[in-house]
Amino acid sequence: MQVKVVLREDEMPRQWYNLAPDLPTPLPTPLGPDGKPISPDMLAPVFPMNLIEQEVSQERWIDIPEEVLALLYRWRPTPLHRAYALEKYLGTPAKIYYKNESVSPPGSHKPNTAIAQAWYNKQFGIERLTTETGAGQWGSALAFAGALVGLEVKVYMVRISFDQKPFRKIMMETWGGKCIPSPSPYTNAGRKILEEQPDTPGSLGIAISEAIEEAVTDSSGKTRYTLGSVLNHVMLHQTIIGLEVKKQLEKIGENKVDVVIGCAGGGSNFAGLAFPFVYDKINGAQIDIIPVEPASCPTMTRAPYTYDFGDIAKMTPLLPMYSLGHAFIPPPIHAGGLRYHGMAPLVSGAIKSGLITPRALHQLECYEAAVTFARTEGIIVAPETSHAVAAAIQEAKKAKEEGKEKVILFNLSGHGLMDLTGYQKYFEGELHDYALPDEELQKSTKVLEGLPKL
């Protein structure tokens, strides 16, 4: 009864997998605000050219630099667990496996791309990185990566999160990063908002605007901006998750996976686990691949597939994606990482092609699943991750009904030790389910009307 499968250092994947060349329909090109295609060099003030090359690459396999591998090796390869205790509790004939990304020092999958992005920026001669963060997971991961790679990191954190989650700021500072509440007085974008709305709680859109502004206006040319999800190169760096899993399953002779599950906000942890299996599906394998989102922010299940901006301030290119509209303000559910209005273009493309099948879940079912998981498997998962756990339990129950010994795999994208307030509110009965009403959806997607269509 092998509860855990590990890999040796020499078994780590040496290449990332890029889904872009394998999508049945090629990804539509990102557009500028004028509706014309964005060229790589238009992105040069924002990102270093080596990452822009990855962003637009049509190569299926991209080498992972040895130095990046050495940094990832500090906590990777991560373990693959067999959830015997959960299976027994559910009385299911299904085998449930989970990939444990919570063992990284910041506690989630985010450092997989933070380390890679920091390293490529350093290679390109960059000295400072800026970014934004909502709940704080991405900001923490980038501060961690900055410490290991040797780059300054400045994180604009949405003011309301900054006030409500002071520990995230302390984490970033301990790793040497700077974390300031957004809007701030340090940028034009921030000052403008502060003048108009001194008491604003801030938003991810404002924070993105500030972080991009700081990167592109640094006259030394030594500052760049980073993003922790959505973009193609972020999905690419995360595929080490699924590529490791394939080797781990092979080691124990598990030749066939029936269901692959990940929660999806911007899409990166889902893509990281799932894309190597999407590749198998494109090549004929029968696999149900399920990205899971909250019913309160139903980007994949109810929003249109269209061009939209990545941020409310329209600083980013227009990206082809499922989107609730760049001005969408989701209700304050606790899974902060799943509150994004859009979805990664590669994930969106895979949905559009019918390769993956999104599912929306309510938060009470997710917390119930997370508590069941903690009491059987012993790991307290992040509120985001609870969506993957809940979908895995749904699939295991379905397998029980059907009497099938299915193989179910999900991504345990992070632990919940920094997010216990959500559990507390769940235990105290303060949480309620909320599905986005149709009229809210219609209202929020109005901003898409004047934009280019797909």
Say if residue 91 is exposed, middle or buried (CB neighbours under 10 Å; 0-12, 13-18, 19+). Answer: exposed
Encoded one letter per residue, x for contact with a second copy by CB under 8 A and - for no contact, window 31-70 reads: ---------------------------------------x
Strands 223-225 and 128-133: parallel
Q: Cβ(140)–Cβ(111) under 8 Å?
A: no
CA distance 211 to 182: 9
Considering the rule CB under 8 A, would residue 9 count as an interface residue with a second copy? yes
Q: Which amino acid is at 62?
A: I
Q: Considering beta carbons, is residue 4 or 404 the nearer one to a second copy?
A: 4
> How many residues of this chain bind a second copy (CB under 8 A)?
42
Which among 24-32, 182-190, 228-236, 373-381 is the span making contact with a second copy, rule CB under 8 A?
373-381
Question: At closest approach, how far in Å is the CB of 54 from a second copy?
Answer: 24
Residues between 379 and 418 with contacts to a second copy, criterion CB under 8 A: 379-380, 415, 417-418
Chosen residue from 42, 147, 194, 329 binding a second copy by CB under 8 A = 147
Question: What angle do the packed helices 111-123 and 49-56 form, to 10 degrees?
Answer: 130
Considering the rule CB under 8 A, would residue 148 count as an interface residue with a second copy? yes
Encoded one letter per residue, x for contact with a second copy by CB under 8 A and - for no contact, window 79-118 reads: --x---x-----------------x-x-x-----------
Q: Considering beta carbons, is residue 83 or 241 the nearer one to a second copy?
A: 83
Say if residue 98 is exposed, middle or buried (CB neighbours under 10 Å; 0-12, 13-18, 19+). Answer: buried
Q: In the chain, what is the straight-line distance between the N-terminal and C-terminal CA atoms, in Å?
A: 50
Residues between 162 and 181 with contacts to a second copy, criterion CB under 8 A: 166-167, 170-171, 173-176
Q: Which H/E stretch holds residue 306?
A: strand 305-309
Question: At closest approach, how far in Å is the CB of 244 from a second copy?
Answer: 14
Count CA atoms closer than 13 A to 149's CA, side-chain side.
Answer: 33
Q: Which H/E stretch holds residue 95?
A: strand 95-100
Question: At closest approach, how far in Å is the CB of 81 from a second copy?
Answer: 7
CA distance 203 to 312: 9
Considering the rule CB under 8 A, would residue 453 count as an interface residue with a second copy? no
Q: Considering beta carbons, is residue 144 or 156 the nearer one to a second copy?
A: 144
Question: At closest approach, how far in Å is the CB of 271 from a second copy?
Answer: 24
Q: Which residue has the tokens 């970014």?
A: 131
Per-residue tokens: 411: 């991504």
Helices H, strands E: what count in the chain? 18, 15
Chosen residue from 374, 400, 433, 452 binding a second copy by CB under 8 A = 374
DSSP state of 230: S
Question: At closest approach, how far in Å is the CB of 173 from a second copy?
Answer: 6
In Å, what is the CA distance from 165 to each residue of 41, 142, 175, 181, 243? 37, 17, 17, 11, 34
Q: Considering beta carbons, is residue 379 or 431 the nearer one to a second copy?
A: 379
Q: Give the footprint of a second copy on this chain (CB under 8 A).
A: 1-4, 6, 8-9, 70, 73-74, 81, 85, 103, 105, 107, 144, 147-148, 166-167, 170-171, 173-176, 370-371, 374-376, 378-380, 415, 417-418, 420-421, 423-424, 427
